[in-house]
Amino acid sequence: MHNIDDIKALFRAGRHAEALQACEQLCAAQPANTDLKRLCATMHGMTGRFDASARMLREVLEQAPDDMDALFNLAVCEREQRRFAEARTCYLRYTERLPKAWEGWLNLAECQVLLGEANAALTSVERAIQYNPKAAPAWMTKGDALAALGRHGEALKAYERANGLALSAGAFAKIGLTLSQLGRHPEALERLDQAVKMDPQLTAARAGRAKVLTQLGRAAQAVDDYTAILAVTPDDDETLKAASVCLAGLQRGEEAIALCDQALAANPDSLTAKLGKSWLIDKIVPNWHVPMMNEQARNNAYFEGMKTYVRPDTQVFEIGAGSGLLSMMAARLGARNVVTCEGAPLIARTAQQIVADNGFGDTVTVLAKPSFEVQLGSELPELADVLVHEIFSSGLIEEHVLPAMEDAKRRLLKPGAAIVPATASLMIALVGGEGFARYFHVKDPFGFDIRRFNAITPKKLPVFRADLHPELLSDDVEAFHFDFVNDDTYPAEQKVLEVSATAAGTCYGVIQWIRLNMDGTTVYENHPRDALPVSGWQHMFYRFDTPLELTPGQTLRLMAAHDRATPWFDLLAG
């Protein structure tokens, strides 16, 4: 059997498992030998086996209750296992027996901070400072306790005192974070820069600097710090969240998705990464894409419209590639060349793969950029004979369709080029019905008058449900008409519409839909009376402040406006 010297030699030689096994065996053979147990506890602790180390130290304390070194080391093991309450109990006992030992008070205070006991921590750390006023860690912990109490000005002084005693990256980081709390962001950034320079691996400094950079409007630099942290700890939840939000705000969502994938590779069960990736994909690829692609009425209308114009010598340009579906239709119809553009790179790459999967890779080119950036000659070989565009929202114009059309007509199309759709209209009608009453207006549920709540609900809402059964109380009204063939500019508009009721009923507002005329003959319309099995476009509802009881022939005056990006409809007084 090995002796103590043999065991120490094995451990020093890096043969840790053999040394620990031998020490455990020797402890079992000599249960009264506390020196062996202390050695075994030390080796377990040095190899990160804190639970085993704590077990040995408890055995020592059972035999030698006054062994304060064992008690202190037991507290250290408890802290390493994040059992702060158990560690606090050890330190309380330690400071009771050794009241002038400043390290005991300091460690007690640190545990109390971690347990949210800031006032008790402040009392304990004052004792540590009393016995060793030059202990920089004690001043740091005093700063932590004060910060936890919201006393940031005093905390700053404590951290600065600690840094004056012993310059450290940790102190610069705490000073920077506290200056940030006090709203002194430029000074905070300077201190955090110093912290990172001293210790580039100090996560708290990088995370704090990233937060300050974001507050100063320098999000791109903040991302560099977040990604540096995630390179070391890819599944750091808080950093992953902050980095994802930053990157999404910078329109760099794909990089954020890559960070989520990196986190999932490190921890496949990371809920933060799963939720973050789903959120990011939804921002890049809104969930209306799938129902839009599956809507047969829309697909048929576009196909028939393109069939009118596409010939074997046709150069087609499309705005809004999506999945590549419409471009492949043009290729199937025999177009010589099709160039399509898509502003979301992830969607564009996927579309190019889909095009290749379907055998049209030689005919269809997908550009990962918005149409405003497409260059004639290098990207679009020649002025297009046919323009196909499908960047319509449920409100028709909310995806920059008007400026995109102005730009394309000015730079990218031949004179007299065909455009599909040729025209588009915003359609409205007065609407009522019990479904709309229940879903968009509140009156007196359970016998209480809570109509006042209507004033704080949105006046413009999408109609996602198909079971509301709108009752149209007027004829269809073409509120705005956009002629993409004959007009070259599309200014903002505001007008008054007089709409007459064709039926009696309670009117809750205006329902809006879209109409697309593809080629002068083929028309697509998501009319409210037509229950489509699937559609990417919803009806929009504009709520009146107060429901109106209408009689046939009664005329309402509506304000209709758009600012080239968003339509609006409202009831005019009188």
Quick one: how many helices (H) and strands (E) in the chain?
23, 15
Residue 93 CA, distance from chain mean position:
47
Q: Which of 1-5, 53-57, 144-148, 259-263 has the lowest mean pLDDT?
A: 1-5
**Residue 559 parent element (H or E):** strand 555-562
- Res 143: pLDDT: 98
The two structure tokens encoding residue 307:
């069939």
Instruction: Report residue 450's pLDDT band, with 50, 70 and 90 as the boundaries.
Output: very high
Half-sphere exposure of 87 (CA within 13 A, CB side): 25
Quick one: three-class SS letters along 41-82? Answer: HHHHHHCCCHHHHHHHHHHHHHHCCCCHHHHHHHHHHHHHCC
Of all residues in the chain, the percent with pLDDT exceeding 70 is 99
pLDDT at position 5 is 87
pLDDT average, residue stretch 290-302: 95
The percentage of the chain sitting over the pLDDT mark of 90, rounded to a whole number, equals 94
Cα gap 531→466, rounded to integer Å: 7
SS (H, E, C) 350-399: HHHHHHHHCCCCCCEEEECCCHHHCCECCCECCCEEEEEECCCECCECCC
pLDDT in tens, 14-39: 999 999 999 999 889 899 999 999 99
Take residue 492 and report the two structure tokens written for it. Answer: 């903002």
d(CA 316, CA 304): 15
Query: 246 pLDDT exceeds 60?
Result: yes
Strands 555-562 and 493-500: what pairing?
antiparallel
Look over the chain and give the mean of its residue pLDDT values, rounded to a whole number: 96
Q: What is the pLDDT of residues 475-525, one digit of tens each?
A: 999 999 999 999 999 999 999 999 999 999 999 999 999 999 999 999 999
For the chain, what percentages of helix, strand and coil (3-state, to nearest 5) are there? 50, 20, 30
Structure-derived torsion over alpha carbons of residues 293, 296, 298, 300, reported in degrees to the nearest 10: 120
Instruction: Check whether 533 has a pLDDT greater than 90.
Output: no
Residue 1: pLDDT above 70?
no
- From CA 490, how far away is CA 255, in angstroms rounded? 36
Average pLDDT over residues 195-220: 96
- What pLDDT band is residue 573 in, cutting at 50, 70 and 90? confident
H or E segment to which residue 553 belongs:
none
At 367-402, the pLDDT tens digits run: 999 999 999 999 999 999 999 999 999 999 999 999
pLDDT tens digit string along 117-148? Answer: 999 999 999 999 999 999 999 999 999 999 99
Global pTM value: 0.79
Q: Which amino acid is at 205?
A: A
Tokens encoding 273: 């990464």
Evaluate if residue 6 carries a pLDDT over 90: no
In total, the chain counts a number of residues equal to 574
Q: Is the pLDDT confidence value at 333 over 90?
A: yes
Q: What is the pLDDT of residues 93-123, one digit of tens each?
A: 999 999 999 999 999 999 999 999 999 999 9
35, burial (CB in 10 Å: exposed 0-12, middle 13-18, buried 19+): exposed
> Long-range contacts made by residues 242-248, C-beta under 8 angstroms, separation at least 24?
242/207, 242/210, 242/211, 242/214, 244/276, 244/279, 244/280, 246/210, 246/214, 246/219, 246/222, 247/223, 248/280, 248/283
Burial class (CB in 10 A: 0-12, 13-18, 19+), 436: buried
Domains of the chain: 4-244 (1.25.40.10), 288-420 (3.40.50.150), 423-571 (2.70.160.11)
pLDDT higher than 80, residue 253 = yes
346 phi and psi, to 5 degrees? -60, -45
Average pLDDT over residues 143-162: 97
Q: How confident is the model at residue 532 (pLDDT cuts 50, 70, 90)?
A: confident
With vertex at residue 179, the alpha carbon angle to CA 178 and CA 181, rounded to the nearest 5 degrees, is 60
